[in-house]
Structure 1
Amino acid sequence: MRSSFLIATGLSVAYAQLQSEYDYVICGGGTAGLVLANKLSADLNTQVLVVEAGANVSPDEPAGQGVETGWAYKSQPQIYAGGQIMDLPAGKILGGSSQINGKAYVRPDASEIDNWGQVNDASWSWEVLFPFYKSSESLSLPSSEQEDAGNTVNKDFHGFNGPVNTTFPAVGTPNFFNILEGTAANVSIPRNKDFNGGAARGLSTYPGTYRIEGEREQFRESAREAYYLGIASRKNLEVLAGTSCLRITWADGSSGDNVTASGVEIANSNNLTTVSVRKEVIVSAGSYRSPTILEYSGVGNPKILANYNITTKIDLPGVGENLQDQMQGSITYSLSNTSNISFPDAVGNEITTNYLMHVTYEDIFGDGAAEIQARVNSSLSAYASTISKRINGSITAEQILNSLQVQYDTIFNRRAPAVELFTNQALTRDSVTLEFWPLQSLGRGNVHISGANAQAAGAQPIIDHNYFITDYDWDIYIAAARWVRRFFATAPLVDSMGEETRPGLAKVTQDASDEEWKAFYQDNFRAGWHAVGSAAMLPRAWGGVVNGDLQVYGTANVRVCDASVIPFILGGHPTSTLYAMAERAAELIIRGTKG
């Protein structure tokens, strides 16, 4: 068997031989992994290897047509949601999920980032992370035509010289925005000129991670374009595509609370070998894969590892637990014959302006807000107990309760947005859809390995999100659906609306009970595709996996940097935060290396 691989650099044209040892091995060339590769390899005396299971192409390139871009994960049947099996897409391509996501550049509410530091390490906060949001971004300011469609910015919130190009859609419909703005005002939702400054409530548009080519055509800007292609010729950076990281190997005699990684076992369809590491292994394979790499390395819950005859190296039962996501729904109305909504003339790769509303629990529940707050407060212990039993006690109810109390405070005391709503210019030309998803779901699930053979089983771990495991998750979801229906019935939007076609009054009547709403949506929701938390940056006593430096507890030189470390599900959309987090992580790593 060969002990080395040929690796592709740049556009997979030039080839070089894999070295036996690197300063840093990054397991996963996704959104965060490529940021780290870029920053760590800026020191030309530092040797960096990125191992990516997917191809080194872009789906927008001719060479990328027909290339597999995602893992196509499936959830376990969701017992609290009608037994549904959810599709859970995740990027399997250089650039990771930044190659397949919705391209939204929307940061969370500041309070949600502040939570990270308050529970684990004071060096994480909105104030600390904000400069990294800006330094990673290069925003193109909206034109007057784009401003007419509602696209506005506060320049103080953005960066203009970073690697990630962001811009606003080239195509807009001003009268549709005006209708939305007037309707929002009539239900007491303010206009927000720019979500990205940390105060997220209100109605606004948002930039996206794409670039303009020509007059109006717009193309995706993934981490591959932003952080890799421009530095692909660096002699000290190698990207090994089409290859998986199976497990971390450990130095002989390494034990105790500072177990030292010696390398990473990697494989493709023809080869299996181990590369050695001088400094650090950084796991950056995403919320569904990073925990499995740790488990195959002997880091995790001893009971789970024993099922597959894996020797426990570090007893860390939080690995794979604390998995969180959001649940999406939608309501659609046809347009009336008297509708005055005009439609954009969009063709090819033109992207139309999208509109978001972020609303609080008080907006959604109205006069019932105090009642729901009291009910949730009195139910937190029961929620924690239910979740702990469902995950076989891998994390105790007391540990889970700690995290639920943080989220409770975020929703009900600090009043971070509790629901996001999304619409565009109704490109179908005959309807308008409002999508909604509660942002701060309280449920938790897990992800674990499905077999002893990392090569055979690694492609499909056991993923169980436990969607709707808490009563609150159904309460906020159903209340959001009712709120959307009321929004459609509010002037001036109602003047352009015809009949409700989804779910429709025949399926969910105007005065439907909670159970009737639930009966429809447990068969018609979808996963939010924002999975976080499975290697959580939490205190070890809370079931955490990494500390405030993203270092895996019990290790001397292993970190995790991707969405799996985010301890609590976030509002906004994850990409902007992942770029900022990885930029700061690179600074922590470099600073730590230099002492």
Structure 2
Amino acid sequence: MNTYKSLQFLLLAYLATARGDTFDYVIAGGGTAGLVIANRLSERSDITVAVIEAGDDVRQDPGVQSIDFLFANFNASINYQYPSVTGPELGSRNLTYRAGKALGGTSAINGMVYIRGDKAQYDAWEKLGNKGWNWNSVFSYYKLGERFIAPSSAQIEVGATYDASVHGDSGPLDNGFPFIISNGSFYDKARATWESLGLGPITDLNGGDPRGFVAAPQTLDPEAGVREDSARAYYTPAEARTNLKVIKGTVKRITWASGSGKQAVATGFEYVSPSGAIIKVGARKEVVISASAYRSPLILEASGVGNPKILKKLGIPTKVNLPGVGESMQDHNIVAMTYNLSNNITGRIGYATMPTAQDVFGSKTSSLAASTFKKLRSWAKALSATSDGAISPSAIERRFRIQHDLIFNKNITIAELFPTNTGDGGLLEQFWTSMPFSWGSVHLSSRDNIEVPSITANLLSTDFDLDMLTAVGRLSQKAYATAPLTDLIADNSSPGYTKLPLDASDEQWATFLKANALNALHVVGSCAMLPKELGGVVDSDVKVHGTRNVRVVDASIIPMQLSGHTMAPVYGVAEMAADRIKASWK
């Protein structure tokens, strides 16, 4: 009887941790970046690749295909929704962080806006210690992956301008303008208003100098009128390959080779199947974590890679001492106001206004640059303290100095103002700041719960971030109170001029912003590509420090915020990372 029970127990244990197949490369996550990597690695027929993805294949879902994006149409079944830890800066409000739970990841559920950011921001990556990562190198991969569809004459009439030299024309990712772009009633008036405020029209957002007013392209197929996500662009052309397999499941942790050495060696992943079984899948060459800026740090921590202080509290033995895991989480700070229209706007509004610090602060810019520079050290000390010293104050200060230089000396764009017509006689004016000094973190909440990250937002934790968002908000208000854009505006319905008048004080703005500022869902940095001494998690070959064959490729490795929407940089980074991985084959 005892023998029988022992055999039964062993059988159940085996079934609970069944071993799956073995591949050359196994990718945790079939999202925006994961499918780029899967496509590029599986181009060679003798290399086998597996992608483990928890979400469904939603390529035929009408809601996903639609380019008529509305935030109200978020489908919870294909959206991860992670709450943040409450913080005093926002009046103890919880924020919600979203990510796509589907093949294609967040590219299947986002607003499709494609903006790369400023040239100097990418060049700063190399200055931070990432050899070969700069605007010119990433720009070449942007063009490699893109199939830009030039606007029609009708679209050009309403502002859909472009510079053909900054776009690719034969890549897998369709990018262009929707045929339902707004009629001229908004474009003409908005263009004239912004020009009167010193932000004239530019030809193309994506050439490295996005300052000004312009129509923003989107990841869509204008001819078919459907969304172009990573699944449609990168998986559809590759899914018939016999050396590429998609496995349904949720990756929990890396499995490691036994023995000791200077570098940890991964043998594969352990994942949970839809039925709840725990299955191990092997990797002969490498594992690639591409599970989002929220989940990639969790997989590393669950595998013993991270801050030993955090791992000890979770009861996880330290495999690789890497305190930067989950730190340096950066997002754009966003606020929205609503206006009632005196004349309804048809079609879609897709226009972005991108200002610099000089545009936002005017004559105060120089004095503000000097006063904030003196505060960098204290900000760095405070941020280091929030992580119990995971990243040293001196490392954070070095990174802050480069960011400060970008804002005040390199004249990068520091904000975006982006209106959306609501379809019911209203206009939603969103504005956000692009390079805040308030960084958060994301960590594993418990040893075996990969589904619930512990997110500390830390928004508006420096006075300058509040000042910057206030100044951008004032610029937004000013635009909608300036002719000829005023011809379209009946009233400000939210928050309303009684609550936030055009001459509102700093105190009134602070009250409004602390009650209404949100995360823009443009999260980067939680597995930053940096030297280890600066709080980095991966090196310039996107390999995790202290490991021989573990890579991370997604938004989490972008080391500092960009002025662009995160999706576009992720595509460029993934294309370049794929080449870095392939270079190791030689």
Q: Same fold (TM over 0.5)?
A: yes
Deviates more, 1:47-56 or 1:326-335: 326-335
**Cα separation, partners in 2 of 1:114 and 1:229, compared to 1, 3 Å:** same
Distance 1:484 1:126 in 2: 29
CA RMSD, 1 decimal: 2.0
The offset of 1:196, in angstroms, is 0.6
Q: How far apart are 1:81 and its partner, in Å?
A: 1.2
Corresponding residue SS for 1:433: strand
- Asked if 1:182 is matched to 2:192, the reply is yes
**Conserved 8 A contact 1:3-1:273:** no
Q: How does 1:177-326 map to 2 (within 5 A)?
A: 177-213=187-223, 218-241=225-248, 243-256=249-262, 258-268=263-273, 269-326=275-332
Q: Does 1:397 align with 2:393?
A: yes
Matched, 1:526 2:526: no
Pick the aligned partner of 2:488 from 471, 478, 496. 496
Q: How many Å separate the matches in 2 of 1:549 and 1:3?
A: 36
2:345 to 343, 346, 350: 343
Who is 2:433 aligned against?
A: 438
Q: Which residue of 2 aligns with 1:51?
A: 52
Query: 3-state DSSP class of the match of 2:542?
Result: coil
Q: Is the 8 A contact 1:132 1:583 kept in 2?
A: yes
Indicate the residue corresponding to 1:374 in structure 2.
370
C-alpha offsets along residues 375-397 of structure 1, whole Å, 9 cap, x if unaligned? 21111111111111222222121
TM-score normalized with structure 1 length: 0.91
3-state secondary structure, aligned to 2:584: helix
Shift of 1:367: 1.8
1:155 paired residue among 160, 164, 167: 164
Counterpart CA distance in 1 for 2:97 and 2:517 is 13
- Give the aligned residue type for 1:574: T
Could you say if the C-alpha distance between residues 62 and 447 of structure 1 is closer, same or farther in structure 2, counting changes exceeding 3 Å? closer
Distance 1:493 1:536 in 2: 41
SS in 2 for 1:510: coil
Q: Return closer, same or farther for 1:152/1:505 CA change in 2, 3 Å cut-off.
A: same
2-structure distance, mates of 1:208, 1:60: 19
Counterpart amino acid of residue 502 in structure 1: S
Alignment correspondent of 2:6 = none
Deviation at 1:4, TM superposition (A): 8.7
- Kindly provide the CA deviation profile for residues 305-354 of structure 1, in whole angstroms up to 9, marking residues without a partner as x: 00121110111000000001111112333334xxxx5632x5xxxxx241
Letter paired with 2:231: R
Larger helix proportion, structure 1 or 2? Answer: 2
Tell me the CA shift for residue 403 of structure 1: 1.2
1:573–1:302 distance in 2 versus 1, CA, 3 Å: same
User: Which residue identity does 2:543 align to in structure 1?
Assistant: Q
1:8 alignment counterpart: none
Name the CA distance, whole Å, in 1 between partners of 2:372 and 2:565: 25
1:521-559, Cα deviation, whole Å (9 max, x unpaired): 211122110010000011111111111111100011111
CA deviation after TM superposition for structure 1 residue 166, in Å: 1.2
Partner SS state of residue 515, structure 2: coil
What secondary structure is seen at the aligned counterpart in 2 of 1:68? helix
Task: Provide the rounded CA distance (Å) in 2 between the counterparts of 1:131 and 1:497.
Answer: 42
Distance in 2 (CA, whole Å) between partners of 1:318 and 1:59 is 39
Cα distance between partner residues in 1 of 2:141 and 2:179: 27
| Aligned pairs for 1:17-28 within 5 A | 20-28=21-29
The TM-score, its normalising length taken from structure 2, stands at: 0.93
The equivalent of 1:553 in structure 2 is 545
Structure 2: runs of 5+ lacking an equivalent: 1-11, 66-73
Q: 2:153 pairs with 144, 147, 166, which one?
A: 144
Q: Report the equivalent of 1:91.
A: 100
Which residue is equivalent to 2:447?
Answer: 452
The residue that corresponds to 2:81 in the other structure is 72
Tell me what 2:528 maps to.
Answer: 536
Q: Share of identical aligned residues, percent?
A: 38
Name whichever of 565-574 and 66-75 sits farther off. Answer: 66-75
For structure 1, list consecutive stretches of 5 or more residues without a partner in the other structure: 6-16, 347-351
Question: How far has the Cα of 1:63 moved from its partner?
Answer: 11
Cα deviation for residue 427 of structure 1 reads 3.1
Quote the residue 2:356 is aligned against.
360
Query: 2: CA distance between counterparts of 1:561 and 1:3?
Result: 32
Preserved CA contact (<8 Å) 1:170 1:353: no
Tell me the equivalent position of 2:34.
33
Tell me the number of residue pairs that the alignment of Structure 1 and Structure 2 aligns.
564
